[in-house]
Structure 1
Amino acid sequence: MTRYFRYGSCAALICSLSAPAAYADLTAQDVWQEWNNYLTSTGYDVTADTETSGDTLTVSNLKMMIPVPDEDTVVTLGIPSMALVENGDGTVNAIFPASLPISVEVEGSDTEELDAVVTMTHSNGKMLISGDPSQYTYVHSSDTLEFELTSLTIEDEPDASDAIKAKFSVNGSNGESTIALGDMRSFTQDYKADSLSYDLTFSDPDSTDAGSFKGELSGLSMNGSGEMPTEFDNSDMAAMLAAGFKMKGNMSYGAGNSDIQGSGDGQEFSATTSSQGGSVAVQMDSTNIGYDLKSQNTTVAVTASELPFPVSLEMAQAALSFLLPVAKTEDPQDFSFAMNLQDFKMSDMLWNLFDPQGTLPRDPATVSIDTTGKATLAFDMLDPEAAMQMETIGTPPGELNEIDINNLLISMVGAKLEGQGSFTFDNSDLESFGGAPRPQGEMDLSLTGANGLLDKLIEMGFVSSQDAMGARMMMGMLAVPGEGPDSLKSKIEINEQGQILANGQRLK
């Protein structure tokens, strides 16, 4: 994560800084100094030639070098020329050539040497900087913006350019952001684009191995905000967070699709995906990290030489979210985990592999769980030394204090299981449950269609009558009849003595 953040610091200056109307004076030198300070604070060693002529500051031979953490490797990014032009009203334009070759060099004893050129091209690209030396605001837009790998040499192999092709394109983009300087460097960003596409192909000149990855997103929207220390070591994420680094952001899109092709060793593979929208949200600070991912109306189709027929899947929604504490604290911290796979469908060809007679209902399946709770960490998760020490001495990473199961739903093949519950945990009692902290609480469960499903599994030969009888006896011990036909319900309780009860009947 740290490495990508550092590389992205440079890319942000090239293609995503943005600002609204001016309200004070800025000079070209102010802007250049701020960019230099920003890159230096994120770990880059910056060198460049600058020349001022009238209202224009020209930056040439710009080199940005950054070491890779824990490796004897240095990555150098180079930009031949750009200009900062004062407009006479306190604002500054950043001018990039319509075609700008960006050099990338990777060298060191721990990696293969690499030399590449990524050419940035744009049409009607504009970037306006305004504000004052304590707060910079940016606005940018372009009709098209494209990054293409135009040259690649790996360990003196010049034919790498023929083996690997890559292109990344953005159409109809605009955005704005603000960077305020003080004890911390705070930022806000908003960005929109009509579409984003990528196209990567590779082929091995010494074999038949080849592949391609293509895709597109439309209706793209991104926003974010955060704070970072004015000086910090990017190789130490724990120290960054302790110094006040925090951020949150969200990316959403209206529709997306991808196409993957591959071949090798006489085998071929292809996959296509599509969705009708989705989003990715992330948050991070000194206490927790959270992610929230969603995709709507997703379809997947796969064909492969090793598969007897094409495989296709559909899902109305796929969602995953979690919030995890990352810092050692004395008090319990919030956590959450949720997953929703809604209305999952697979093709009849796949069903027919194990149910050729169509005995089982083929209604869409849903698996959903939503949990929240509290836990106490015994170490800082993002501190590698602390994590290694905990692993070495075998100390538990922390304590689970409580958990709420807000929703549990499993619905498939004609049966449905639903539940809600809540438990607390006594971490001083590790004997009642074989070394695990003793839980206390209850959970309500309901099950419909279970007996009908068992009958169908017997008919298919998957379950014997004797095994089905055992399953029915177990359900009879744990549950009582529900309100409708083929329905069961149960209240599972664990009391403060560590006893387990089902509907008031003691099981343990």
Structure 2
Amino acid sequence: MCVSRLTVAAAVTALVAGTPALADVTPQQVWDELQGYLESFGYEVTARETTDGDRLVVTPLSIAMPMPEDNGSGVFEIGEMILAPTGDGSVSVRLPETMPIMVKVDPKDEESIDMALDYHARDFALTVSGDPGDLTYDFAATSLGIELVRLIVDGETIPPEGARFDASTGPVDGDARVVHRDGGRDITQTVSLGDLTYDLMFDDPESRSAGTLSGTLTGLHSATEANVPDAPATGDAALRLSSTSEFGAGSSRFSFSEDGKTATGETSSEGGRIAVKLSGDDLAYDVAADGVNWAMTSGDLPFPVSASMDEMRFNLAMPTAVSETPEDAALGVTLGGLTLSDGVWSIFDPKGVMPRDPATVMLDLTAKVTPLVDFTNPEAMAGFEMLGKEPAELNALTLRNLTVEAVGARLTGEGAFTFDNSDKTTFDGVPRPEGQLDLSLTGANALMDRLIELGAIEEREAMGARMMLGMFAVPGDEPDSLTSTLEVNDKGQVLANGQRIR
């Protein structure tokens, strides 16, 4: 979003840092480097430079970012930047404590938005040292924050009691090094953001809806390595980024109402991490959180409900550039130790028939895919979609781990398949697979008995399910256990435990 990119622009002067170097650097050289850095991201920098003794004064300074498809723009009004030598070969950079951000969004066939925010950098200090091709930065601030000042939607001004947003983090301390290379810059940065607090509210009498959300997140810390091209026209495909952010305990409270019905709740977690890797050829995410808790009360529910989870994790890796050969991809999901409150259980199991042990779901997939389109190019993606073409070919898929454990039953599986994309007739439009899947299931019969006792299914329905399992599975070594080996051979035949079923 434009607001987040403008926040990045604000942080360019407040969130890049490093260690002192021995070489001298001048205020003009520092300003030239900052301006070039911003322009490399596609920002439009407007400023007038004047000298005041050995100081360089840049005013009025504004940083603008047009939105895609001419849907609006965002402008960060820094106002005055003063760069002055410190006497030891470094340069200090001074900024106003409060800097306005103006955002205008005017999409076709949607509401227009005119928004003003204030960016706060309290007790901000930035020192730059080194030489123009190898600058290091050191910065600190008591806090950095952003606050909604004005909001106009479709020409109607929303009063302060109709919308509020305020977020701040601190104390802030960080360091970074920016080194020029052919066609771009190498950036290494670490930053400690302290504790984050946020508070937002909306109240729309016309739609009879309102809501509040507030919370904290402690111990924010991030480390980033990036290769940034000089020319923004090269696009995100040329940007290379590796970033890891970690956080400690956090909590939030929320309240939402609509048409007279209100839902309130709170969440908390013990900590987590977010890792992102981006290059011209691939993209990867890894998000994790530990000790997650939810609690909610709603007019649609007869009593409060709550749940907790020991671990949540999601990871994704995929190629993004067109390739003539198969590339690596991966997908993983973990929902570990899910525990529901008695109030939730009582909705569908008031008699306590089902075991209420913590549930776990785990999925770990790897794959080989051949991208047929540049996933970072929206126009190319739209063209493929318009023509009804698939954006990539699936060449191979490996199930490294499947685990579903809940209500006394446990399903596990692993397997691997290859896919022939030249044969889409054997399986009706799907590339012909070849490979094997091994499954193991325990507790299925006991689960069906409990479902009958609960009244969720009838005896005849359970009998039909048992007969179906008998077609695809064989008894395992343990009581109430089943195993199954599903194969697809090179002729497109499907076999279950050696018996052909297709």
TM range (shorter): over 0.9
- Tell me the alpha carbon deviations over residues 133-153 of structure 1, each in whole angstroms, 9 at most, x when there is no partner: 001211112233333334555
Q: Which amino acid aligns with 1:15?
A: A
2: CA distance, partners of 1:285 / 1:105: 29
> 1:226 is aligned with what amino acid?
A
Residue 224 (str. 1) matches residue 219 (str. 2) = no
Letter in 1 for 2:456: F
More displaced stretch, 291-300 vs 158-167: 158-167
Q: What does residue range 162-181 of structure 1 map to in structure 2 within 5 Å?
A: 162-181=161-180
1:166 and 1:115 mapped to 2: Cα distance? Answer: 11
Please give the per-residue CA displacement for 1:85-104, whole angstroms capped at 9, x wherever unaligned: 2112211111224x323242
Q: CA offsets, 1:89-140, max 9 Å, x none?
A: 211111224x3232425276866362524051413x3211111100121111
Counterparts of 2:448 and 2:362, CA distance in 1: 23
Query: Separation in 2 of the partners of 1:121 and 1:151?
Result: 19
Q: Is the 8 A contact 1:57 1:84 kept in 2?
A: yes
Q: Which residue of 2 aligns with 1:236?
A: none
Identity %, equivalent residues: 38
The range that moved more, 49-58 or 268-277, is 49-58
1:240 matched to which residue of 2? Answer: 235
- Check whether the contact 1:153–1:160 (CA below 8 A) recurs between aligned residues: no
Contact 2:113/2:151, CA 8 A, preserved across alignment: no
- Give the SS at the match of 2:452: helix
SS in 1 for 2:168: strand
Q: Deviations over 1:132-191 (max 9, x none)?
A: 100121111223333333455556655534432222221222111111112222211111
Partner Cα distance (1:109, 1:291) in 2 = 30
* Separation (CA, whole Å) in 2 of partners of 1:35 and 1:61: 15
Kept in 2, the 8 Å contact 1:6–1:42? The answer is no
8 Å contact 1:6–1:43 — kept in the other structure? no
Q: With the length of structure 1 as denominator, give the TM-score of the two structures.
A: 0.93
Q: 8 Å contact 1:135–1:180 — kept in the other structure?
A: yes
Q: Is the 8 A contact 1:438 1:498 kept in 2?
A: yes
RMSD: 2.1
1:36 aligns to what SS in structure 2? Answer: helix
Distance 2:163 2:191 in 1: 30
Q: Distance in 2 between matches of 1:113 and 1:300?
A: 33
Q: How many Å separate the matches in 2 of 1:159 and 1:490? A: 61
Q: Output the CA distance in 1 between the equivalents of 2:26 and 2:221.
A: 31
Cross-structure match for 1:41: 40
Q: 1:369 to 1:159 in 2, by over 3 A?
A: closer
Displacement of 1:41 in angstroms is 2.6
For residues 435 and 207 of structure 2, the distance between their equivalents in structure 1, rounded to whole angstroms, comes to 61
Unaligned runs of 5+ in 2: none
- Give me the TM-score of the superposition, normalised by structure 2: 0.94
Shift of 1:29: 0.9
2:77 alignment counterpart: 78
| Matched AA of 2:224 | G
- SS of alignment partner, residue 426 of structure 2: coil
Q: Is the partner of 2:118 in helix, strand or coil?
A: strand
Question: Compared with structure 1, are the counterparts of its residues 465 and 322 closer, same or farther at alpha carbon in structure 2 (3 Å cutoff)?
Answer: same
Cα distance in 1, alignment partners of residues 16 and 311 from structure 2: 33
What residue is the counterpart of 1:389 in the other structure? Answer: 383
Contact 1:92/1:129 (8 A) holds in 2: yes
List aligned pairs for 1:115-194, cutoff 5 A.
116-123=116-123, 125-152=124-151, 157=156, 160-183=159-182, 184-194=184-194
Distance change in 2, residues 1:435/1:203 (3 Å): closer
Letter in 1 for 2:217: L
Deviation at 1:6, TM superposition (A): 4.4
1:254 and 2:248 matched: yes
The answer (yes or no) to whether the contact 2:121–2:141 under 8 Å persists in 1 is no
Within the alignment, does 1:102 sit opposite 2:100 as a pair?
Answer: yes
**Greater shift in the superposed pair: 76-85 or 103-112:** 103-112
Q: CA 1:187/1:4 → structure 2, altered by over 3 Å: closer, same or farther?
A: farther
The amino acid that maps onto 1:33 is D
* 1:60 positional shift: 2.3
Partner Cα separation in structure 2 for residue 288 and residue 503 of structure 1: 38
Q: Which moved more, 1:138-147 or 1:217-226?
A: 138-147
Deviation at 1:264, TM superposition (A): 3.9
Shift of 1:200: 1.5
CA distance in 1 between counterparts of 2:169 and 2:406 reads: 41
Task: Give the Å deviation of 1:211.
Answer: 2.1
State the distance in 1 between where 2:378 and 2:192 align. 37
Go from structure 1 to structure 2 and tell me whether the alpha carbon gap of 1:494 and 1:307 turns closer, same or farther (over 3 Å shift).
same
Report the Cα distance in structure 2 between the residues aligned to 1:5 and 1:331, rounded to whole angstroms: 36
With over 3 angstroms needed to count, the CA separation of the structure-2 counterparts of 1:112 and 1:160, relative to structure 1, is farther
Q: Is the 8 A contact 1:9 1:42 kept in 2?
A: no
Matched with 1:406 is 400
- Determine if contact 1:154/1:160 at 8 Å carries over to the other structure: no
The answer as to whether partners of 1:298 and 1:314 remain within 8 angstroms in 2 is yes
In structure 2, distance between residues paired with 1:398 and 1:115: 40
Q: Using the TM superposition, give the Cα deviation of residue 338 of structure 1 relative to its aligned residue in structure 2, in angstroms.
A: 0.4
Inter-partner Cα distance in structure 1 for 2:31 and 2:40: 14
Q: For 1:391 and 1:208, locate their aligned partners in 2 and report how far apart those are by CA, in whole Å.
A: 38
Shift of 1:495: 1.2
Counterparts in 2 of 1:268-283, with a 5 A limit? Answer: 268-283=262-277
DSSP 3-state at the match of 2:10:
helix
Amino acid in the other structure paired with 1:230 = D
Q: Which amino acid aligns with 2:98?
A: L
1:82-93 equivalence runs, <5 A: 82-93=81-92
Given candidates 282, 293, 297, the residue that maps to 1:299 is 293
1:119·1:149 contact (CA, 8 Å) conserved in 2? no
The correspondence of residues 14-25 of structure 1 with structure 2, limited to 5 A, is 14-25=13-24
Cα separation, 1, equivalents of 2:150 and 2:371: 48
Does 2:450 match 1:470? no
- Give yes or no for contact 2:256–2:263 (8 Å, CA) kept in 1: yes
Q: Which residue of 2 aligns with 1:426?
A: 420
Task: Select between 363-372 and 139-148 the one with higher mean Cα deviation.
Answer: 139-148
User: Aligned partners of 2:65, 2:362: CA distance in 1, in Å?
Assistant: 44
